[in-house]
């Protein structure tokens, strides 16, 4: 039983990690919590479904198109609503509220367009199950886990080994100095948004595949939990987000089976509040002193 | 032109307030239909909540998405006490205030050290946790079934049966709240709160314990929401957890943002407009949250302080009297 929940939690947690990375990246570059991340996660699942139904098949192509579409949406969010606020030097809360508004707009547009019933989602990677000890593992879970880990490795390589990654890290450290070094900060920010949109889409589609449905509460619930994961690991720290995502996934799975399934969603919030109480910089974060 | 209008309002603010309350008092005489009275009562209740939220989000600058949680705690306290134990309304209102206040004290001690964006998320999470508790603690709250047949409000044996009587009750509660909030915000307490918004570190270096003031502001906000919730429970006579969701919290933040942050007339404008508007646009019910999303994004981009935000009528009046003195 324990092993089963552990494996379930690990699978789900790896997808949470992807979305948490998105939060972390944007926060490190902009010091902004992108509330619309959850909405993009949901959008990813729904757009994949929509294209799949429109093309009457070709799951992988739908997946690919969905990634491009939501990537573009992520780019537009920054370009058309956040960039003007940055140019006006608005207070930070303005950007936060703007992302909340955009998240609401996206989620409600989906609801209006698709209707509020839960829709079924195809699982093309259903190759059966096998047993490890007492636990039953499905190949879908394995594929999700492998994909997520692969993406996490790719992101780490991009951030730590490429030039654009260096630009991102520089912008995260000090925006003005980066500009002085000739880094196009606006381009870096746009790329960060696009990357986090890609990750959210992929995570959204994978989870929809796993549960074989998409539903309208996807965005908000997962958005909150993955933000809790990012906070747990330390917002702005890449490996922290990954660790946080997996931990939250496992704790949620274990908590739901051993404590109570009704309170399942509350577990992530409770963890987040505890972390913010005792170690606000997160498990892997550095203590941020406010410079005057 | 706008300046002239503002100057007129500033100089005659007492008279305008008197006119507004006169209109509010006479409203049921002219508009007798239960539906209109219901919309009016709901607007006034939301105005009360918006005033409370404005203290924390407008004056103090700490965006709080926990309003629905305190509102719900007040409502459930009222509902449980009246249906299970048959307490009378006065005790119920007081208990709702105390419970909501305690909850905010608990939340405040946990989170008020946090910076703005963390606070926003944690209050949202708190809202969700409270909702989940309301949903799952079947023995206390009957979970998704909700609590029904909540008795109507009765003070000392006098039952408030008709919509008109309830309307006057909320009007009185709103008047009290408005008086408290405006007096408070124009006092030393209010200046501390505003300075926390402007620059917390500077405030601390003045020797002010900002955490203590933040907690006090939070408690006042929660008490106002709790009392409004108690009224709501006894007015609607049925409550369930779906009425107190994070979406509700977001709607109330929109009321503050739209009407005007740190502005008492702004709270009235935001709450009344955004309560009446969905009623007028009943056909567009499904588009409501979508429209709210757009309002949020547009307001924040165009006029972040809200329509009547940062308009301090008392300052304008002082400025005018100074100008008159110079002549």
Tokens at A170, concatenated:
């520089």
From A182's Cα to the closest Cα of chain B, the distance in A is 29
Measured CA to CA in angstroms, residue B102 lies from A185, B129, B138, B219, B220 at distances of 46, 16, 22, 8, 11
Decide if A121 contacts A66 (C-beta within 8 A): no
Q: How far apart are the first and last CA of chain A?
A: 52
More confident residue, B316 or B123: B123
**Which residues on neighbouring strands pair with residue A120, listed in sequence order?**
A213
Tokens at A214, concatenated:
């998409």
pLDDT confidence bin for B293, thresholds 50/70/90: confident
Domain membership of residue A275 (yes or no) is no
Tokens at B290, concatenated:
């979508």
Count of H-run helices and E-run strands, chain A = 12, 4
Domain membership of residue A226 (yes or no) is no
Q: Which residues 299-318 of B have a C-beta within 8 angstroms of A?
A: 300-301, 304
pLDDT confidence bin for B36, thresholds 50/70/90: confident
Domain membership of residue A32 (yes or no) is yes
CA–centroid distance for B2 within its chain: 27
Task: Please name which of B226, B222, B223 lies closest in space to residue B78, comparing C-alpha atoms.
Answer: B226
What is the model's pLDDT at position B320? 80
Most A CBs within 10 Å, among B106, B113, B121, to test the A interface? B121
Mean pLDDT over A223-245 rounds to 87
**Contact across the interface for A265 and B287, Cβ inside 8 Å:** no
Task: Please name which of B28, B57, B116, B105 lies closest in space to residue B309, comparing C-alpha atoms.
Answer: B57
Mean pLDDT over B188-193 rounds to 92
More confident residue, A269 or B185: B185
Mean pLDDT over A71-99 rounds to 86
Question: pLDDT tens digit string along B272-289?
Answer: 998 888 888 777 777 888
Chain A residues within 8 Å of chain B (Cβ atoms): 32-33, 81, 84-85, 90-94, 96-98, 100-105, 107-109, 111-112, 220, 224, 227-228, 231, 260, 262-263, 265-266, 269-270, 272-273, 276-277, 280, 290, 292
Tokens at A28, concatenated:
């490190």
Mean pLDDT over A6-16 rounds to 90
Architecture of the domain whose range is B2-28+36-326: Orthogonal Bundle (1.10)
Does B305 score more than 70 pLDDT? yes
**Can you say whether residue B207 is alpha, beta or left, with left for phi > 0 and alpha for psi between -120 and 50 degrees?**
left
Is residue A180 classed exposed, middle or buried when 0-12, 13-18 and 19+ CB atoms within 10 A define those classes? exposed
What is the model's pLDDT at position A15? 92
Decide if B114 contacts A252 (C-beta within 8 A): no
**Contact across the interface for A273 and B63, Cβ inside 8 Å:** no
**Can you say whether residue B86 is alpha, beta or left, with left for phi > 0 and alpha for psi between -120 and 50 degrees?**
left
Mean pLDDT over A73-102 rounds to 86
What is the model's pLDDT at position A194? 94
Does B327 score more than 70 pLDDT? no
Residues in B touching A222 (Cβ below 8 Å): none
Decide if A33 contacts B63 (C-beta within 8 A): no
Domain membership of residue A279 (yes or no) is no
**Which residues on neighbouring strands pair with residue B148, listed in sequence order?**
B238
Decide if B85 contacts B144 (C-beta within 8 A): no
Mean pLDDT over A240-254 rounds to 89
Most confident segment among A210-224, B216-230, B304-318: B216-230
Q: Which DSSP category does A288 fall into?
A: P
* Percent of chain A topping pLDDT 90: 28
What is the model's pLDDT at position B51? 94
- For chains A and B, CB pairs below 8 A equal 113
Residues in B touching A270 (Cβ below 8 Å): 129
What is the model's pLDDT at position A287? 64
The pTM of the whole model exceeds 0.95: no
What is the model's pLDDT at position A123? 79
Task: Pick the range with the lowest mean pLDDT from B123-127, B167-171, B198-202, B286-290.
Answer: B286-290
Tokens at B19, concatenated:
């006119």
Mean pLDDT over A24-44 rounds to 89
More confident residue, A185 or A2: A185
Give the residue numbers spanning the domain of A153.
Answer: 2-116+128-218
pLDDT confidence bin for B219, thresholds 50/70/90: very high
Does A290 score more than 60 pLDDT? no
Angle at B54 between CA B39 and CA B95, to 5 degrees: 70
What is the model's pLDDT at position B102? 93
More confident residue, A109 or A257: A109
Question: pLDDT tens digit string along B56-109?
Answer: 988 888 888 999 999 999 999 998 888 888 778 888 899 999 999 999 998 888
From A126's Cα to the closest Cα of chain B, the distance in A is 33
Helix axes A185-211, A163-173, angle to 10 degrees: 110
Task: Please name which of A289, A184, A174, A203 lies closest in space to residue A12, comparing C-alpha atoms.
Answer: A203
Q: Are strands A129-132 and A119-120 parallel, antiparallel or unpaired?
A: unpaired
From A2's Cα to the closest Cα of chain B, the distance in A is 24
Task: Pick the range with the lowest mean pLDDT from A67-76, A172-181, A257-266, B254-263.
Answer: A257-266
Out of A94, A269, A272, the one facing B304 most closely (by C-beta) is: A94
- What gap in Å lies between CA B78 and CA B93, rounded to an integer? 7
Domain count for chain A, please give it.
1
**Contact across the interface for A93 and B63, Cβ inside 8 Å:** yes
Decide if A205 contacts A122 (C-beta within 8 A): no
**Which residues on neighbouring strands pair with residue B238, listed in sequence order?**
B148
What is the model's pLDDT at position A289? 58
Mean pLDDT over A93-117 rounds to 86
More confident residue, B316 or A170: A170
- What gap in Å lies between CA A141 and CA B127, rounded to an integer? 32
Question: pLDDT tens digit string along A120-139?
Answer: 887 777 777 888 777 888 88
**Contact across the interface for A276 and B136, Cβ inside 8 Å:** no
Out of B116, B125, B136, the one facing A272 most closely (by C-beta) is: B125
Q: Which residues 173-202 of B have a C-beta within 8 angstroms of A?
A: 201
Q: Which residue has the tokens 């008092």?
A: B25
Average pLDDT over chain A reads 86
Out of B120, B124, B290, the one facing A109 most closely (by C-beta) is: B290
What is the model's pLDDT at position A292? 54
Angle at B174 between CA B172 and CA B176, to 5 degrees: 70
What is the model's pLDDT at position A151? 92
């Amino acid at each position: 039983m324990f092993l089963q929940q552990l494996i379930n939690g690990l699978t789900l947690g790896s997808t949470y990690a992807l979305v948490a990375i998105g939060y972390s990246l944007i926060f490190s570059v902009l010091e902004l919590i992108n509330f619309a991340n959850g909405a993009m996660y949901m959008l990813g699942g729904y757009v994949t479904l929509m294209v799949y139904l429109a093309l009457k098949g070709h799951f992988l192509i739908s997946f690919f198109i969905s990634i491009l579409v939501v990537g573009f949406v992520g780019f537009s969010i920054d370009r058309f609503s956040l960039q003007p606020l940055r140019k006006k030097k608005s207070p930070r809360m303005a950007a936060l509220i703007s992302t909340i508004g955009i998240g609401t707009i996206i989620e409600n547009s989906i609801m209006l367009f698709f209707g509020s019933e839960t829709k079924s989602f195809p699982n093309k990677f259903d190759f059966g199950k096998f047993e490890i000890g007492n636990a039953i593992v499905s190949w879908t879970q394995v594929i999700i886990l492998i994909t997520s880990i692969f993406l996490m490795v790719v992101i780490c390589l991009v951030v730590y080994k490429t030039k654009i990654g260096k630009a991102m890290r520089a912008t995260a450290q000090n925006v003005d100095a980066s500009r002085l070094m000739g880094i196009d900060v606006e381009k870096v920010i746009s790329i960060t948004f696009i990357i986090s949109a890609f990750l959210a889409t992929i995570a959204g589609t994978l989870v929809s595949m796993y549960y074989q449905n998409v539903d309208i509460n996807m965005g908000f619930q997962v958005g909150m939990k993955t933000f809790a994961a990012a906070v747990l690991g330390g917002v702005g720290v890449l490996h922290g987000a990954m660790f946080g995502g997996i931990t939250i996934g496992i704790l949620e799975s274990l908590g739901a089976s051993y404590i109570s399934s009704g309170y399942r969603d509350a577990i992530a919030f409770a963890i987040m509040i505890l972390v913010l109480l005792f170690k606000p910089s997160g498990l892997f974060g550095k203590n941020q002193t406010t410079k005057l | 032109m706008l300046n002239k209008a503002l100057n007129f309002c500033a100089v005659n603010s007492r008279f305008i307030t008197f006119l507004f309350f006169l209109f509010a008092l006479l409203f049921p005489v002219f508009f007798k239909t239960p539906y209109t009275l219901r919309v009016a009562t709901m607007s006034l209740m939301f105005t009360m909540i918006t005033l409370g939220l404005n203290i924390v989000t407008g004056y103090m600058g700490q965006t709080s998405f926990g309003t629905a949680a305190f509102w719900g705690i007040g409502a459930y306290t009222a509902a449980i006490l009246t249906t299970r134990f048959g307490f009378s309304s006065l005790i119920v209102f007081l208990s709702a205030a105390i419970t909501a206040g305690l909850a905010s004290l608990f939340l405040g001690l946990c989170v008020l050290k946090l910076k703005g964006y963390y606070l926003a998320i944690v209050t949202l999470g708190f809202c969700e946790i409270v909702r989940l508790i309301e949903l799952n603690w079947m023995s206390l709250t009957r979970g998704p079934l909700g609590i029904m047949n909540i008795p109507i409000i009765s003070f000392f044996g006098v039952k408030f049966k008709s919509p008109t009587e309830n309307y006057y009750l909320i009007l009185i509660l709103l008047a009290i709240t408005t008086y408290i909030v405006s007096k408070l915000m124009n006092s030393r307490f209010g200046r501390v709160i505003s300075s926390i918004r402007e620059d917390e570190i500077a405030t601390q270096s003045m020797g002010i314990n900002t955490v203590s003031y933040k907690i006090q502001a939070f408690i006042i906000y929660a008490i106002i929401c709790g009392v409004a919730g108690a009224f709501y429970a006894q007015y609607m006579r049925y409550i369930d957890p779906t009425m107190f969701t994070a979406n509700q919290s977001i709607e109330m933040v929109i009321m503050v943002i739209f009407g005007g942050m740190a502005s008492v007339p702004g709270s009235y404008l935001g709450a009344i407009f955004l309560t009446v508007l969905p009623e007028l646009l009943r056909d567009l019910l499904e588009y409501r949250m979508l429209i709210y999303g757009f309002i949020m994004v547009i307001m924040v981009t165009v006029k972040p302080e809200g329509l009547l935000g940062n308009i301090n009528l008392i300052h304008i009046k002082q400025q005018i009297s100074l100008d008159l003195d110079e002549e």
